[in-house]
Amino acid sequence: MKLKSSSSIIFFALIGFILFFIPQAVAENSCIDCHKTLSPFLEVQKQFNQIRMRHLEINVSCSLECHEDRVRQLATSNYQQWSESGHGINGITCDKCHGGNPNQTTKEKAHASIINNNDPSSPVYYTNVPKTCGACHPNELTSFENSKHYKKLEALKLAPTCTTCHAPHGFAVLDPEEFRNFCGNCHSVYKKVAPYDIPLQAEYLLGKVNKLKFDIDNTRQDIFWAKKNGTDVTQAQEYTDNALNTVSNLAVLWHEFNLTHFEDELDSANKDVQKAEDIVKPTPSPTKTQVPTTPGFVAIAGIISLLAALYVVRKK
């Protein structure tokens, strides 16, 4: 009884922490107070980013003087995107990435220590973004550091970084069908970045991940009913747990961008699911097919005798 009471106290304490302290911490952040009063211009930001990308491709740096009005509009959309993101929901505020002092009440003081994002020493300069993100996502950073993308980013200063796929301030995870366009921005005949089939491979493999998750859910249901029917499901449950563990690591593994390794792990999980299914839904043993038999000599003689007897009776 005491254990149950203690568990209830801990549960309500956690709920109170989430409902009270996180919103309070966000509410006291001057970055939020300032940016939430600005209106969003999401379409303008997209246009500005496209212009910037085209400039960078031909080694032309963007000038704030050229785009001063656009830059102002760009800043106004950031709060809107952040507030709807996982970062916003979990209270990860602007200063965690950009720096600055959120305890100050004026823009000048709050921004005093912020380094312009075009400065190579800025934490959000594109080559520094992995380290900045890695402060909270260390496993993803470790995988990314093992990738060809990261090595080219370090050596050539020209390769994808975290915000290439996870757009700044929104940080959404792409759907499988979106990877064809994103990967195709570089891996294409036109850009001459091989392999050219990477976009299709990425879309295919991430589609297989969704199929694997669906199969695991079905297998867990089959295990539940098999157990109800008295089947020993211990081994099947172990195989399913292995598959679930593999799936939980796939998001981190993806950041290696080693599709061969990723597919190997995916296939391993699929095999575990199939093994579990073989236990809870074994293939029925084939039944022996009876070969049709033809009447033997005795049977034929018996039929002839019967017909002869009927003939004699009829004649009488």
* pLDDT above 90: percentage of residues in the chain: 40
CA 226 to chain centre: 30
Q: Give the tokens for residue 145.
A: 């550091």
Question: What is the tens place of the pLDDT at every residue in 284-298?
Answer: 555 555 555 555 556
The answer to whether position 289 is within a domain reads no
Give the Cα separation of 219 and 248 in Å (integer).
17
In sequence order, the 6+-apart residues with CB closer than 8 A to the CB of 210 are: 176
Q: Quick one: pLDDT at residue 39?
A: 44
Q: Please count the CA atoms within 13 angstroms of the CA of 89 that sit on its side-chain side.
A: 6
The answer to whether position 290 is within a domain reads no
80 neighbors 86 (Cβ within 8 angstroms): no
- Predicted confidence (pLDDT) at residue 5 exceeds the cutoff of 90: no
Give the Cα separation of 28 and 109 in Å (integer).
16
The answer to whether position 111 is within a domain reads no
Give the Cα separation of 29 and 142 in Å (integer).
31
Same domain flag for 223 and 263: yes
Same domain flag for 95 and 58: yes
Q: Quick one: pLDDT at residue 171?
A: 87
Q: Quick one: pLDDT at residue 283?
A: 57
Give the Cα separation of 162 and 140 in Å (integer).
10
Q: Give the tokens for residue 174.
A: 């792409």
Give the Cα separation of 205 and 202 in Å (integer).
5
Quickly state the pLDDT bin for 170 (edges 50, 70, 90).
confident
Q: How many domains does the chain have?
A: 3
Q: Quick one: pLDDT at residue 41?
A: 45
More confident site: 283 or 258:
258
Same domain flag for 91 and 126: no
129 neighbors 165 (Cβ within 8 angstroms): no
Q: Quick one: pLDDT at residue 71?
A: 54
More confident site: 230 or 316:
230
Give the position of tokens 């009488």.
316
- Predicted confidence (pLDDT) at residue 40 exceeds the cutoff of 50: no
CA 17 to chain centre: 28
- Predicted confidence (pLDDT) at residue 42 exceeds the cutoff of 80: no
Backbone angles phi, psi at 117, to 5 degrees: -70, -10
The answer to whether position 114 is within a domain reads no
Same domain flag for 29 and 91: yes
Quickly state the pLDDT bin for 151 (edges 50, 70, 90).
very high
Considering Cα of 51, then 52, then 58, then 61, what sign does the dihedral take? positive
Give the range of the structural domain holding residue 25, as residue numbers without chain letter: 9-102
Buried b (16+ CB within 10 A) or exposed e, 234-261: eebbebbebbbebbeebebbbbbbebee
Give the Cα separation of 277 and 270 in Å (integer).
11
- Predicted confidence (pLDDT) at residue 254 exceeds the cutoff of 70: yes
Same domain flag for 205 and 274: yes
The answer to whether position 4 is within a domain reads no
Q: Quick one: pLDDT at residue 178?
A: 85
Average confidence (pLDDT) over 2-27: 53
From residue 301, how far is each of 68, 280, 296, 297, 307 by CA, in Å?
Answer: 110, 54, 9, 6, 10
- Predicted confidence (pLDDT) at residue 67 exceeds the cutoff of 80: no
In sequence order, the 6+-apart residues with CB closer than 8 A to the CB of 24 are: none
Mean pLDDT of the chain: 79
Same domain flag for 27 and 76: yes
The answer to whether position 63 is within a domain reads yes
More confident site: 16 or 231:
231
The answer to whether position 177 is within a domain reads no
Of 114, 141, 163, which marks where a domain is finished?
A: 163
The answer to whether position 84 is within a domain reads yes
Question: What is the tens place of the pLDDT at every residue in 218-248?
Answer: 999 999 999 999 999 999 999 999 999 999 9
159 neighbors 152 (Cβ within 8 angstroms): yes
